[in-house]
Amino acid sequence: MRIAIVNPNTTQSMTQAAAASAGSAARSDTVLIEVTASTGVASVESHVDEAWGALSVVTEIERCEASAERPDAYVVACFGDTGVSAAREAAAGPVVGMTEAALMTASLVAHRFAVITMPKRTLRQSEQVVRNLGLEHRCTVLAVDETVAELAEGSLHLLDLFTAEGRLALDAYDAEAIVLGCAGLADLVGPLQAALGVPVIEGVAAAVTIAEGLVAQSLTTSRALTWARSSSPSEAVSA
């Protein structure tokens, strides 16, 4: 099975980190394909960045679809699930966003849970995904106010900040698990779980197992209405 890990930003080290997290949970015979946005923004930290990111997701998926070795499924590796709906129209196989995957996974191991995202200005974008899934009554979104650029070389230096916010989630919001709210935080899973004593969920790892499951069930996006194949990209032209 071939699963593409699509990073909507142009920072290759983030794609590698996401793919590494996916690899830690994927089946041994799953082939992970790293896909990095070829144009766009270096990190997605605003709604403007999301506009760039969503188009990058579509463009890269169209490229993959046209390639000789079309992936069986896609994981969109950006918290906020930028471009996931559009990706579903563009891809033949199923598409799983890391945020929806993380939230569903959390709901299976914890009654209440918290997302800790970053930077703080993206709080409402994460909440939007929570609300679309209808999980407002079970999920709180908190934030560490650091830029995603901070994560270029890993996230372990943020452990204290995440532990403090996680402690708040447990004490003040009765969270029983933590969802890491950014694609570059996989190396925090172990240390944070140790520090807090509750499950810590990384969305790319969660998403790759769910994508594997969809392929195993021979399921892909319904074309009945909302996510019918979109008109061809050649319609996007200069005026």
Q: How far is the CB of 55 from its own copies (least distance, A)?
A: 5
Interface of this chain with its own copies, residues 191 to 220, rule: CB under 8 A? 197-199, 201-202, 205-206, 209-210, 212-214, 216-217, 219-220
Beta-carbon count within 10 A of 5 CB = 29
Sign of CA dihedral 36, 229, 93, 130: positive
Which of 164, 172, 194, 228 lies at the binding interface for its own copies (CB under 8 A)? 228
Collapsing DSSP to helix, strand or coil, 34 comes out as strand
Say whether residue 79 binds its own copies (CB under 8 A): no
Question: Is residue 13 involved in binding its own copies (CB under 8 A)?
Answer: no
Residues 140-169 as x/- pattern, contact with its own copies by CB under 8 A? ------------------------------
Q: What is the x/- site pattern for its own copies, positions 172-191, by CB under 8 A?
A: --xxxx--------------
Residues within window 82-121 making contact with its own copies, judged by CB under 8 A: 83, 85-86, 88-90, 94-96, 100, 104-105, 107-112, 120-121
Maximum distance among all alpha carbons in the chain?
56
224 binds its own copies (CB under 8 A): yes
Nearer to its own copies, 100 or 158 (CB): 100
Return the closest-CA partner of residue 180 out of 53, 77, 88: 77
Q: Of residues 63, 124, 157, 167, which one binds its own copies by CB under 8 A?
A: 124
Check binding of 75 to its own copies (CB under 8 A): no
The single residue among 170, 173, 191, 195 that binds its own copies, judged by CB under 8 A, is: 170
Query: Cβ distance 98 to 76 under 8 Å?
Result: yes
Find the shortest distance in angstroms from Cβ 177 to its own copies: 5
In terms of Cα–Cα distance, which of 179, 171, 168 is closest to 129?
179
Q: Which of 16, 46, 65, 92 binds its own copies (CB under 8 A)?
A: 46
**Cβ count near 150 (within 10 Å):** 17
How big is the site for its own copies, counted in residues (CB under 8 A)?
93
User: Closer to its own copies at the Cβ: 67 or 132?
Assistant: 132
Whether residue 191 contacts residue 160, with contact meaning beta carbons closer than 8 Å, is answered with: no
Decide if 171 contacts 198 (C-beta within 8 A).
Answer: no
Count other Cβ atoms within 10 Å, centred on residue 165.
20
Angle 126-128-130 (CA atoms, 0-180°, nearest 5)? 75
